[in-house]
Structure 1
Amino acid sequence: MPPFGGIKTLDDTIHETPVSPLLSGAELTKEWQGVKAMLKGCYRQLSLQDFCKKFILKHQNMYPNFARLAEIGLCMEVTSVECERSFSTQNRLKTKYRAALKDESLEALMTVGLLGPPVTSYNPAKSVRIWLKRKDRRKKRLMEAYKPRANKETLKK
């Protein structure tokens, strides 16, 4: 009897459900000699991406396991650029002055930083108006703290 009063857990379900492998090692070994000849022959000038595309289109029936492997290869990310970009964005956002950011806030800021529009296209006027209307004391304090510097023209008058 499963634990938790007869309720199956995810672990129980996973072990009960057999999953067929995507590729067969034995079949790949059989197909390898033909694919190897293609790589050394007529396809040696192609990039890996172009080879995979052409291989899937032309040789899927003859080499089904390698065609599936090529499909998997085309879906995989071959660089760590996105990961590095994410860490850089996080390091820009979470500084020693903002170390107490909650996970939800950090996630929202990172999403905007990674996927949002560029900062140059943002017009802050609407946000500033909303911020100034929220609390009257903010506006007064802002106006008190802002004292324009005297420039040469105002000093001469």
Structure 2
Amino acid sequence: MKTLQLLNTVLNPSKVPKNANSLDDHGENELKELINIYGGESGVIDGERAQSDFYQVKVVIKSLNCTLTEACTTLLQEYRDIFPDFAVLAAIVLVSPVTSVACEKGFSVQNKIKTKGRSRLKHETLTKLMRVKEEGPGVEEYDPKPSIRKFCEMRHR
């Protein structure tokens, strides 16, 4: 959660100060922490380049006057080539879950499928059944005819 707070400070237009005097120091410490997390030899961002680009990024973000999600989307779509390190950070913001709901939902689905009577399911089978349960159509909407046709065409039975 701390990392998301750091990213929020650095990339959120509502956090960027409006006056130019405060713009210089805004987010510098947070960016350094992000460079420690995502930079380095095998890191996903170039720390030196990110620090040198940061003032220009702040000016761009300040001019956007939108939400964090919209700012990150704009960085990815329009400024990816100009500010590649901040595009990576924006992508991290957009794909980071802010709650554990998805994880909890996954455990709930698993517990409904892997009952006492089905305790010997293989991992692959359980994964496939969970995917169908989470992402597939409901029983009411499912039309089995194409699947039956494909099954029959696989080999003579």
Instruction: Report the TM-score when normalising by structure 2.
Output: 0.49
Structure number with bigger Rg: 1
Higher normalized contact order (CA 8 Å, seq sep 6+, divided by chain length): 2
